[in-house]
Chains A and B, each alone.
Chain A
């Protein structure tokens, strides 16, 4: 499996080349085009209950689609719904990543996806909901973001503060706790940040340069109200 990002920037696409018999899983609806040798199957990752819990709890799609090079090698073009960058990572089998629910685009068949419950404070205040995806295993993992994707590298015990709605993915060796953006409650909210996540290294944190919720609020004022 070889993958490459086409048209990097706001509207990218990924080309994945599959050997005969290889398959990848992708977010359902992510396939744009493919060679005729590729079969699409929808698959409930983690069984019915796993899929159901993922759907209900993370809001992630019920089915993932599996793209299989059943009748010989071929290529697949994949794209996310929202404008924003795509990043391809290689999982080494040891590093695990937590991915917020809209961040997953595709992954090799050897990549394992589970939904995981967050702690109450992280779930309530973290901005990614109570459930996030935990991605482990070995092989390529393709993530997408809203806006550009930025990688923050943390050395052991190094700290960094991220606004909670800009998170895309972070490695499981990092830890974070949620705190108010400013020292006072009022100042926290009037600063427009509310809560932030203080990350503690080592590991990497991927953030997106735009906040989907903020964008939604901004665009709402331009949508005509139907009578």
Chain B
């Protein structure tokens, strides 16, 4: 006779006494494990019982009755017993039981609804963050003063440069300064004072931080065939700053993390993961729309500065063609056919320009970098 229920009462242990319950046509027979022979063979008539649901998930049948001047409570979980109880017990008792069961069903339904509602809320919020938030982000970004942006960028810029070898003088620096001057002269109402630093590194890349801080790696200058190609990349990066793309990313990301933490509280596992994935994806690169925007405005800026706009297109195309090992700039700016076509179309749409060549000799600039 294996016990199938727990019996509680003032003389029983607080975790309940295991007992065996059997349903008979006249009532419920309860045999306690500790005292096998109860008076009347442990039979309690249905008329003495009252039922409800209980337990943590309201999934247990709770039967109560009075015995030996004590109130006994029985917790039943075995579905077999519960079924036979429902089938055998008189209507007035099962009526109570059905009421209890429907209450449980209601609780469960409500709980399910709450989960669905919360789930859809999270999903809607996530969708909104991904797709619909641009307006909000733009609004937020437009409210951030340039001064703040500069402070933010400057801190990151200093941190970065502190660990790098900065090229302070020489032909490379002079060449980059000339490109920067040519380009920035043509920016109307420029609120930034652009600082472009040449950093000695084989990384073929350049990047811009919010506030007008731009880094060009010597690796990029070594790969470029002429100054126009570098100027093209530079123009693209300057336009990330002018369009405040970095700030947009940060605002978006902060918003997302904040929303996630608010919605999910501080639950360890799930959030840790989501947050990490989300943040990594977002910090990895500018959005595609932002790249396109920087491409288009970059080409326009080159045109205004009378620098050959084909330089940038040629540079990326050549790199993609001869790519043997992964080149960093291509991982963040993949030269897809669509991008090339768009850039070419953009260039073709511009009025004819009178090109003004740079004053430096590109070969000499590259030679000055050689051996480093």
Give A residues with C-beta under 8 Å from B: 55-59, 92-95, 98, 119-121, 123-124, 129-130, 153-156, 170-176, 201-204, 213
Closest B-chain residue to A55, C-beta based? B269
Given known A57-B269, A94-B5, contact A175–B54 (CB-CB < 8 A): yes
Q: Can you pick out 10 interface pairs between chain A and chain B where the beta carbons lie within 8 Å of each other?
A: A58-B269, A59-B269, A94-B3, A119-B111, A156-B71, A173-B75, A174-B55, A174-B56, A175-B55, A203-B15
Interface string of B51-83 (1 = CB under 8 A from A): 000111110100010000001010101000000
One of B6-14, B174-182, B290-298 at the interface: B6-14
Are B6 and A95 touching (Cβ within 8 A)?
yes
Q: How far is A194 from B185 in the complex, measured between Cα atoms in Å?
A: 59
> How far apart are B266's CB and chain A's nearest CB, in angstroms?
8
A129 x B16 contact (CB < 8 A): no
List the B residue with the shortest CB-CB distance to A156: B73
Determine if B35 is an interface residue (Cβ-Cβ < 8 Å): no
C-alpha gap A121/B107 in the complex (Å): 12
Q: Kindly state the separation between the CA atoms of A154 and B270 in the bound complex, as whole angstroms.
A: 33
Q: Does B144 contact A (CB under 8 A)?
A: no
Contacting residue for B265 out of A57, A59, A124, CB 8 A: A124
Give the nearest-CB partner of A53 in chain B.
B269
Q: Point out which of B18, B64, B268 has the most chain A C-beta atoms below 10 A from its C-beta.
A: B268
B267 lies within 8 A of chain A by Cβ: yes
Contact of A155 with B8 in the complex, beta carbons under 8 Å: yes
* CB < 8 Å neighbour of B54 from A56, A58, A173: A173
CA distance A111 to B266 in the complex (A): 30
Question: B118 at the A/B interface (Cβ < 8 Å)?
Answer: yes
- Name which residue of chain B comes closest to A116, CB basis: B57
Q: For A94, give its contact among B14, B18, B115 (CB under 8 Å).
A: B18
Q: Check A202 against B16 for contact (C-beta < 8 Å).
A: yes
Instruction: Please report the C-alpha to C-alpha distance between residue A176 and residue B56 in the assembled complex, in whole angstroms.
Output: 7
Known: A172-B57, A213-B266. 9 other contacts (CB 8 A): A55-B269, A94-B18, A98-B56, A119-B114, A120-B114, A120-B118, A171-B15, A173-B60, A174-B55
Q: Is B338 an interface residue (CB 8 A)?
A: no
A174 to B57, CA, bound (A): 9
Pair B18/A173 contact, Cβ less than 8 Å: no
B273 and A56 within 8 A (CB): yes
Chain B residue, CB-CB nearest to A176? B56
With A56-B269, A173-B75, A202-B73 given, is the CB distance from A95 to B16 under 8 Å? yes
User: Considering the complex of A and B, which 7 residue pairs feature the smallest CB-CB distances, nearest first?
Assistant: A59-B269, A153-B14, A59-B268, A156-B73, A202-B8, A120-B114, A129-B267
Tell me whether A93 and B56 are in contact (CB under 8 A).
Answer: no
Once bound together, how far apart are the Cα atoms of A186 and B15, in whole Å? 37
Closest to B64 in A: A156
For A202, list chain B residues within 8 Å (CB): 8, 14, 16, 73, 75
CB contacts (< 8 Å) of B5 on chain A: these are 94
Closest CB in chain A relative to B100 CB, distance in Å:
13
A44 to chain B, nearest CB (A): 16
**Chain A residues with CB under 8 A of B111:** 119-120
Complex: A124 Cα to B122 Cα, angstroms: 14
Contact B3 A93 (CB under 8 A): yes
How far apart are the CA atoms of A92 and B75 in the complex, in Å? 14
Residues of B within 8 A of A124 (CB): 265
Q: A20–B10 Cα gap in the complex (Å)?
A: 41
Contacts of A175 in B (CB 8 A): 54-56, 58
Contact residues in A for B270 (Cβ distance below 8 Å): 56-57, 130
A155-B8, A156-B71 as given contacts; A173 in contact with B55, CB under 8 Å: yes
| B64 → A minimal CB distance (Å) | 8
Name which residue of chain A comes closest to B33, CB basis.
A92
Would B15 and A95 count as touching, CB distance under 8 A?
yes
Give every chain B residue within 8 A of A203 (Cβ-Cβ): 14-16
Contacts of B266 on A, CB cut-off 8 Å? 213
Q: Please give me the residue from chain B that is nearest to A154 by CB atom.
A: B14
Given A57-B270, A59-B269, A129-B267, A173:B16 Cβ within 8 A: yes
Q: Could you tell me if B273 and A172 are in contact, using CB atoms closer than 8 angstroms?
A: no
Q: Does A92 contact B18, Cβ atoms closer than 8 Å?
A: yes
In the assembled complex, the CB of B79 is this many whole angstroms from the nearest CB of chain A, namely 14
Minimum CB–CB distance from A154 to chain B (whole Å) comes to 7
With A94-B16, A203-B15 known as contacts, the answer to whether A130 contacts B267 (CB < 8 A) is yes
Taking CB atoms, residues of chain B closer than 8 Å to A153 are 14
